Amino acid sequence: MTLQQLKYLVTVAECGSITAAAEKLYISQPSLSTSIHSLEKEMGVTAFIRSKKGITITHEGEQLLSYARMLLEQADNMKDHFGKGKKRTPKFSVSCQHYSFAVNAYVDLIRHFDSDQYSFILRETQTGEIIDDVANGRSEIGILYLSPDNEAILSKMIKNKDLQFIELFVADPHVFLSADHPLAHKDIIEIDDLIPYPYLVYEQGEQNSFYFSEELIPMLDFPKNIQVRDRATLFNLLIGLHGFTVCSGVIDQKLNGDNIIARPLHFSSQMRIGCIVRKHTILSPYASFYQEALKKHLSI
């Protein structure tokens, strides 16, 4: 097994076909196929099922890809650490829930490591995908929250995937609503105050249960519910329908605009916002910088 073979494996998975991967890697298709077959034979697995339409990744292949991405990432981190003076292309990926501070920290990261070439990825995605992305090596860091209600389930998933949770910030729940909302004048909002208004939540796909919710309060507590996939849609509905959502209270006026405000919610639970990373790995300089940038924006 070589790092080159692992790179070939990951590239084939990303491209979805041997032909496209060979073109991207500037090698012949037969050479790439031989290299992949050799790796599969050495590992005793079938990573891909080949067909005229391309390739399909097997369950064993997904596991092999997870290790391959981790090893390639660690090799890059080692080069960054010991290869002083050598110019490298910055590369870093994060998967997170929909937090403005995560975006602001990412802006700091890109500005700090700006160069003629770089490859940065920021995925605002569903909670289950965040855990899978980090476990499978698609992202080096994930950002989510734990609470007394979801901690048992999510902590078990995190542990079973050989990840660890690093707490960054403990937040009291707040209500996000428009500046002209009928409740905007209240210093503290009660649960009963919210019942007449649409509750906006981020849709979680197949794992659409309270344990994976980005919001602290279950949808069942309110008669009107709207599920969305992106931040812009949620904020437009907050303004257009006098809707609301429940989150950390960390808000950025430059990113979210003056029309969105946060008000404390009278609710006993708290949100422990933090990072998930793989255990027993060395973080890249980008991941280390990003963690510090998160702490800075969470302390403002």
Q: State the pLDDT confidence band at 84, using cuts at 50, 70 and 90.
A: low
Please compute the mean of the pLDDT values over residues 142-149 and round it to a whole number.
Answer: 94
Give me the pLDDT at residue 254, please.
67
30 and 94 in a single domain? The answer is no
Judged against a pLDDT cut of 90, whether residue 88 lies above it is answered with no
Q: State the pLDDT confidence band at 85, using cuts at 50, 70 and 90.
A: low
213 Cβ contact partners less than 8 Å away, ≥ 6 residues apart: 127, 150, 201, 202, 204, 219
Chain-wide mean pLDDT for the chain? Answer: 89
Q: Does 107 fall in a domain?
A: yes
Q: State the pLDDT confidence band at 300, using cuts at 50, 70 and 90.
A: low
Please compute the mean of the pLDDT values over residues 229-244 and round it to a whole number.
Answer: 92
Give me the pLDDT at residue 259, please.
86
Could you tell me the CATH number of the domain that includes residue 25?
A: 1.10.10.10
160 and 277 in a single domain? The answer is yes
Judged against a pLDDT cut of 90, whether residue 76 lies above it is answered with no
Residues 239, 130, 79, 39, CA torsion sign: negative
Judged against a pLDDT cut of 80, whether residue 83 lies above it is answered with no
Domain that holds residue 20: 3-68
Q: State the pLDDT confidence band at 52, using cuts at 50, 70 and 90.
A: confident
59 and 206 in a single domain? The answer is no
Give me the pLDDT at residue 256, please.
62
Q: Does 148 fall in a domain?
A: yes
138 and 194 in a single domain? The answer is no
Residue 28 CA to its chain's centroid (Å): 35
155 and 277 in a single domain? The answer is yes
Give me the pLDDT at residue 1, please.
86
Please compute the mean of the pLDDT values over residues 52-76 and round it to a whole number.
Answer: 82
Could you tell me the CATH number of the domain that includes residue 152?
A: 3.40.190.10
128 and 177 in a single domain? The answer is no
Q: Does 217 fall in a domain?
A: yes
Q: Does 243 fall in a domain?
A: yes
- Report phi then psi at 285, rounded to 5: -55, -30
Q: Is 84 helix (H, G, I), strand (E, B) or coil?
A: coil
CA distance 150 to 190: 22
**% of the chain surpassing 90 pLDDT:** 50
Please compute the mean of the pLDDT values over residues 112-120 and round it to a whole number.
Answer: 90
125 and 192 in a single domain? The answer is no
47 and 60 in a single domain? The answer is yes
> How many domains is the chain built from?
3
182 and 254 in a single domain? The answer is yes
208 and 262 in a single domain? The answer is yes
Please compute the mean of the pLDDT values over residues 86-100 and round it to a whole number.
Answer: 86
Judged against a pLDDT cut of 80, whether residue 22 lies above it is answered with yes
Q: Does 11 fall in a domain?
A: yes
Q: Does 229 fall in a domain?
A: yes
- Return the minimum-mean-pLDDT range out of 108-122, 137-151, 199-213: 199-213
Q: State the pLDDT confidence band at 120, using cuts at 50, 70 and 90.
A: very high
Give me the pLDDT at residue 257, please.
64
22 and 47 in a single domain? The answer is yes
Q: Does 210 fall in a domain?
A: yes
Q: Does 285 fall in a domain?
A: yes
Distances from the Cα of 294 to the Cα of 71, 102, 103, angstroms: 26, 6, 9
Give me the pLDDT at residue 186, please.
95
263 and 180 in a single domain? The answer is yes
